[in-house]
Amino acid sequence: MKFTHPKILIVGAAVTLAVVAGFVYAYKIWPFREKGEIEAGEVCSSLGPPSRVVNALTKVLPEESSYSFDENASLRVDVTDTNYESSCFISGGGKQLLAVEARLMADEPKESWTQWVKGTAANEASTRSLTPFTAGDKAVASSRFAAIFVPCTSAGKAPGGQYNLSVSTELKKGGNSSDAAVRDELIKLTRAASSYSHIKAKCDMVPNIYE
């Protein structure tokens, strides 16, 4: 019977571990993946003051080596104009992680707006557990989605009566924070984006975005 020397087994195991560790590090597999930082200067302007949103984004987004921001906007000319849209898409690891969108639209009852804004979510599961919170005319949120219906232009100024801003935030891939914590941060992000949009959309009504 042939026996293998213990020292040979130990050396062999050590070499194998070193090779595996090198492979893991080279391909940035956990736990060696480098965590990227969200730079204030790269954050979409439509999210509001970077100092207010960077901390919230850090808490809700998954850890990635880098993040990219894609922003688009169609600005309102004056209070008689009924067109205003803005969007900010945050990506990392080759996937879209979070989307924040704002749109000017005619005022409508809470129930119909809630159904409409649920339909704007890319993932139906994001809006399954929506519960109300206090902001604007109407506001709802879950651990993956938050939206506020913000009063913007009073009746008589724009054609068709009062117009509101519908501002929503959808988390498409989350990090390690609890559902309750994520919901709170999504609400903060949506409040900040609503405040920014209310100014950029030339709104004349009081937004009542904050409690």
pLDDT digit string (tens) for the chain, length 211 residues: 444 555 544 444 444 444 444 444 444 444 444 668 898 999 999 999 998 899 999 999 999 999 999 999 999 888 889 999 999 999 999 999 999 999 999 999 999 999 999 999 999 999 989 999 999 999 999 999 999 999 999 988 888 899 999 999 999 998 888 999 999 999 999 999 999 999 999 999 998 887 5
**Domain check: are 148 and 61 in the same one?**
yes
10 and 61 part of one domain: no
Q: State residue 211's pLDDT score.
A: 54
Is 163 within a domain?
yes
Is residue 167 situated within a structural domain?
yes
Q: Give yes or no: residues 2 and 93 share one domain.
A: no
Residue 194 belongs to a domain? yes
Same domain, 60 and 112: yes
pLDDT in tens, 135-177: 999 999 999 999 999 999 998 888 889 999 999 999 999 888 8
* Residue 124 region by backbone torsions, left for phi larger than 0, else alpha for psi between -120 and 50, else beta: alpha
The chain-wide mean pLDDT, for the chain, equals 86
The reported pLDDT for the residue numbered 159 is 84
H or E element, residue 97: strand 95-106
pLDDT of residue 32: 46
Question: Residue 207 domain-assigned?
Answer: no
Q: Are residues 90 and 155 in the same domain?
A: yes
Say whether both 109 and 13 belong to one domain.
no
- Residue 108 maps to a domain: yes
Say if 206 falls within a structural domain: no
Same-domain pairing of 17 and 86: no
Domain that holds residue 153: 36-200
* Domain shared by 51 and 109, yes or no: yes
In a domain, 210, yes or no: no
Exposed, middle or buried, 146 (CB in 10 Å: 0-12/13-18/19+)?
Answer: buried
Together in a domain, 98 and 84: yes
Domain identity same for 20 and 41: no
**Residues 50 and 117 occupy one common structural domain:** yes
CB neighbourhood size of 109 (10 A): 10
Q: What's the confidence (pLDDT) of residue 65?
A: 92
Tell me the torsion sign for CA atoms 131, 50, 193, 136: positive
> CA dist 29 to 18, 34, 51, 105, 126, Å?
15, 9, 31, 45, 28
Residue 193: inside a domain, yes or no? yes
Half-sphere exposure of residue 22: CA atoms within 13 angstroms, side-chain side: 6
- How many domains does the chain divide into? 2
Helices 50-60, 179-200: inter-axial angle, 10-degree rounding: 150
Is-contact 98 176, C-beta < 8 A?
no
Is residue 67 domain-shared with residue 3, that is, in the same domain? Answer: no
